[in-house]
Structure 1
Amino acid sequence: MDLSSVTKTKLEMSRNYHDMGSVNKLREAAQSGDEGALEEAAKQFEAIFVQMMLKSMRKAQDALADKDSPFSTEQVKFYREMHDKQIATDLSANGSIGLAEVIMQQMNPGNGVMPAGVVRADGDLSVLNRHNVAAIQNAQNRVMGNNNDNVSQGAFKSAAFASPKEFVDALYPHAIEAAKALNLDPKAMIAQAAVETGWGKSLIHKNDGENSHNLFGIKADKRWDGEKATVDTLEFVNNVPEKQQASFRSYGSFTHSMEDYVDFIKSNPRYEQAIQKTESPKDYFNALQEAGYATDPHYAEKVMAVLDGNMLGELIP
């Protein structure tokens, strides 16, 4: 029998609510990086969601049920709950809901699918109406008398690259040069830029449609006297995501963005520990996160997932 078929059978067995041994096999396969296990795990998450819906429906039914009915006993409720859980698992396995596919895409950062953060930030839908967005914002600025030439209040996020391959092909040669100054693997810089911009699908553009070329999400604080772009962003406050407005640095080119990233890291005392750990990308990004580079509590983990993922490995052998 084909080995892949044997593995698939073992994973499919984990869909049985009563088979705890197979669930453990699913956990072991997921830890080994098995993509099939990832798919099954997504289906398990979907099943949990369906179980919650069924449970809520049952509660509403129980509120109207006859307490003296033989179908309202605790024993009946116990077996009914087990039955509902198995139904939820089977529905997920058959793709009846469709949630598992979305979960699988978001759990696998190496598959080239636009990450959840980009979807929340409007993805590349702005490309379809970029001129309308710019025209409306320019009209508003004229009415409001916005005379600050360095700040673009009507900035928005849209795509600057058609694919991850185009993103890597354009940026990797520049990353090789910039990363030397940090003694960092240039692939690590590309991975971080991919997380920050969704593989170039969510780059900040100023209200006139000009690309800000900001690859690393560096904000325009008081130390920055160049052009800025103000845009909605997702920040984590006490580990809870919160939509805020922030000003980001705007560059004339992607090369300038990478050079400023290197200068930003080297000139900021809070990143001294990170600089000493650049030989290990994992330690470097963990140190960046601990120093407050990003508010996302899983930032370093996300960057490493891209760095170690199949997508980047295929694009940069």
Structure 2
Amino acid sequence: MDGLGSKSQLDMARNVHDLGSINKMREAIASGDEDVLQEAAQQFEAIFVQMMLKSMRKAQDALADENSPFNSEQVKFYRDMHDQQLAADLTSNGGMGLADIIVKQMGHSEDSYQPASTIRSDGNLSSLNRGRVEQTEHAQESVLVSESKGTRAAIKDSMFESPEDFVSTLQPYAQEVAEKYGLDAKAIIAQAAVETGWGQFVIHNSDGTSSHNLFGIKANSQWQGDQAVVSTLEFNGHIPEKQKAAFRSYSSLAHAMDDYGKFIATQPRYKQAVAHAQDAGKYTQALQDAGYATDPEYANKIMSVYHSDRLNGLMP
């Protein structure tokens, strides 16, 4: 009998104009009646359907004859009441399926539906972006670390003892190249830091000697020097993919730095970057726009290093 009484209360609650029945549904919720979740979900769906009907009516009213007796306020009042009840009746007989999804999501009745509390972000886009960046960095780390182990044609290994050693060693070369090609020495070192993890993942040749390639410049058809073939991380949109590629190998840091300056200054596609060389933000963004790297966060990563306390403490 209790079950029949509860069902009767829920059936009565479907009359959207019967406030007493709505109160009875509230009492059923307070008593812990599980069936009330389905009814509440159906009424939520009814509100959604009612909003759609209301929007459709507004579009119809805009084209209606103002002098028509069917366009009076009295007719509209009863029409709206009819639409409210129509929405409730439609959703009680299957509706659009929205009520079923709500029940499954909130009722924890199926393992395939994850609780909303575990996936809700509260509109915090920064947290979503931060998560994506962390996943990307983790993927990069995995490639870099894997290349420092095992026997391969070429590997990535440390070339400097610390970030301080990295900056102090590269600074005179970077300043010389910056003066020669009209670039920003600090931006050059920041880019090298991003490309090599502050010198901890520099490409080494198969014999263990360093390639001195600090900027990830690949060995294209115009390159006549030595090469080092190693796995690298390329991006297809925001998805990192591991690929094999041949990179330029240099005899010294001075050679590597000068080739970078020449590469940027002479390639037509980096014309905009050179034009904005004294504005690090525009320079790095122009490099990314010209296709220097496939990482969609490439310019942001360089500027993060450029403005970091670590680099500014070593190179104001």
Q: Provide the C-alpha distance between the structure 2 equivalents of 1:117 and 1:182, rounded to a whole number of angstroms.
A: 34
SS at match of 1:219: coil
Asked if the contact 1:212–1:249 (Cα under 8 Å) also holds between the matched residues in 2, the reply is yes
Q: Provide the C-alpha distance between the structure 2 equivalents of 1:118 and 1:84, rounded to a whole number of angstroms.
A: 30
Q: Provide the C-alpha distance between the structure 2 equivalents of 1:280 and 1:158, rounded to a whole number of angstroms.
A: 32
Q: Provide the C-alpha distance between the structure 1 equivalents of 2:146 and 2:164, rounded to a whole number of angstroms.
A: 17
Q: Provide the C-alpha distance between the structure 1 equivalents of 2:179 and 2:249, rounded to a whole number of angstroms.
A: 23
What's 2:22 paired with?
A: none
What's 2:239 paired with?
A: 240
Q: 1:242 to 1:180 in 2, by over 3 A?
A: same
Asked if the contact 1:124–1:201 (Cα under 8 Å) also holds between the matched residues in 2, the reply is no
Q: Provide the C-alpha distance between the structure 1 equivalents of 2:220 and 2:33, rounded to a whole number of angstroms.
A: 69
Asked if the contact 1:194–1:200 (Cα under 8 Å) also holds between the matched residues in 2, the reply is yes
Asked if the contact 2:140–2:233 (Cα under 8 Å) also holds between the matched residues in 1, the reply is no
Q: Provide the C-alpha distance between the structure 2 equivalents of 1:267 and 1:192, rounded to a whole number of angstroms.
A: 18
Identity of aligned residues (%): 44
Match of 1:243, as an amino acid?
K
What's 2:143 paired with?
A: 121
Query: Any unmatched runs of 5+ in structure 1?
Result: 1-68, 90-99, 108-114, 138-153
- RMSD, matched Cα: 3.2
What's 1:28 paired with?
A: none
Asked if the contact 1:124–1:202 (Cα under 8 Å) also holds between the matched residues in 2, the reply is no
Count of aligned pairs: 206
Q: 2:33 aligned to 67, 70, 73, which one?
A: 70
Counterpart check, 1:157 vs 2:162: no
What's 1:23 paired with?
A: none
Q: Provide the C-alpha distance between the structure 2 equivalents of 1:256 and 1:167, rounded to a whole number of angstroms.
A: 16
RCO comparison, higher one (Cα < 8 Å, 6+): 1
SS at match of 2:245: strand
| TM-score, normalised with respect to structure 1 | 0.58
Residues 209-235 of structure 1: CA deviation (Å, up to 9, x unaligned): 110000000000000010000000011
| TM-score, normalised with respect to structure 2 | 0.58
Counterpart check, 1:307 vs 2:303: no
What's 1:212 paired with?
A: 211
Asked if the contact 2:181–2:262 (Cα under 8 Å) also holds between the matched residues in 1, the reply is no
Q: Provide the C-alpha distance between the structure 2 equivalents of 1:191 and 1:72, rounded to a whole number of angstroms.
A: 61
SS at match of 2:144: coil
Q: State the 4+ residue runs in structure 1 displaced beyond 4 angstroms.
A: 75-86
Q: Provide the C-alpha distance between the structure 2 equivalents of 1:254 and 1:70, rounded to a whole number of angstroms.
A: 75
Q: 1:125 to 1:269 in 2, by over 3 A?
A: closer
**Matches for 1:93-108 after TM superposition, within 5 Å:** none
Asked if the contact 2:273–2:283 (Cα under 8 Å) also holds between the matched residues in 1, the reply is yes
| 1:121 CA drift (Å) | 2.1
**Matches for 1:1-317 after TM superposition, within 5 Å:** 70-71=33-34, 74=37, 84=117, 116=138, 118-123=140-145, 126=148, 133=151, 154-317=153-316
Q: 1:117 to 1:202 in 2, by over 3 A?
A: farther
| 1:239 CA drift (Å) | 3.5
SS at match of 2:210: coil
SS at match of 2:234: strand
SS at match of 1:70: coil
